[in-house]
Amino acid sequence: MPKSKKKARAKTREVTRRVKKKISFLTTEGIDYVDWKNEKLLRKFMSERAKIRARRVTGNSAQQQKLVADAIKLAREMALVPYGTKVTTQRQMKERDGRPRADGPAPLPSSLPPGSDLDEFDQAEGSADNGASEAVELHDPSDAELPVSDESDSQSADSTAGVHP
């Protein structure tokens, strides 16, 4: 069998970009010791979600990054800086599949809540159905007639209630 010759591919020209190396803030300011009590300095090495920024972002050397990380961890223990913050945003009215979000009540659960029996659920549903079909007469206390009493009774009642005339 003859050996197949592989076609030589044209070499693609590799584009090499030199990225400017970041210079550490600690180096530019001449800081040798990262104090865990200096919250303002530590926040420069933390993201808005309180995560420690990477070396490639801050430009720290390995030794500087270790000092910063240890100082941040100690400051977290002492409650000077948070372990993490939750960034919340307002939900916007977005359309799903070309239709707007419904403004009605929350949807009913598709399954039973944990710990409930099917019999209890059926009984609750049955009693709700029966109650909805029957009209219930409610008693309004403002419509009721009040009994008429003597003035002497009302004074004695006022004196027992602690109200002085």
**Which of 22-36, 99-113, 139-153 has the least mean pLDDT?**
139-153
CATH of the domain at 66: 4.10.640.10
* 161: in domain: no
Look at 71 and 18; give whichever has higher pLDDT. 71
Average pLDDT over the chain reads 75
Look at 159 and 107; give whichever has higher pLDDT. 107
* 8: in domain: no
Per residue in 58-97, pLDDT (tens digit) is: 999 999 999 999 999 999 999 999 998 887 777 666 666 6
Mean pLDDT of 87-113: 70
Mean pLDDT of 111-139: 59
* 137: in domain: no
pLDDT surpasses 90 at 35: yes
**Domain count of the chain?**
1
* 129: in domain: no
The residue range of the domain holding 42 is 25-77
* 156: in domain: no
pLDDT at 62: 95
Show the 3-state SS of the chain: CCCCCCCCCCCCCCCCCCCCCCCCHHHHHCCCCCCCCCHHHHHCCECCCCCECCHHHHCCCHHHHHHHHHHHHHHHHCCCCCCCCCCCCCCCCCCECCECCCCCCCCCCCCCCCCCCHHHHHHHHHHHHHHHHCCCCCCCCCCCCCCCCCHHHHHHHHHHHCCCC
Mean pLDDT of 11-26: 77
pLDDT surpasses 70 at 136: no
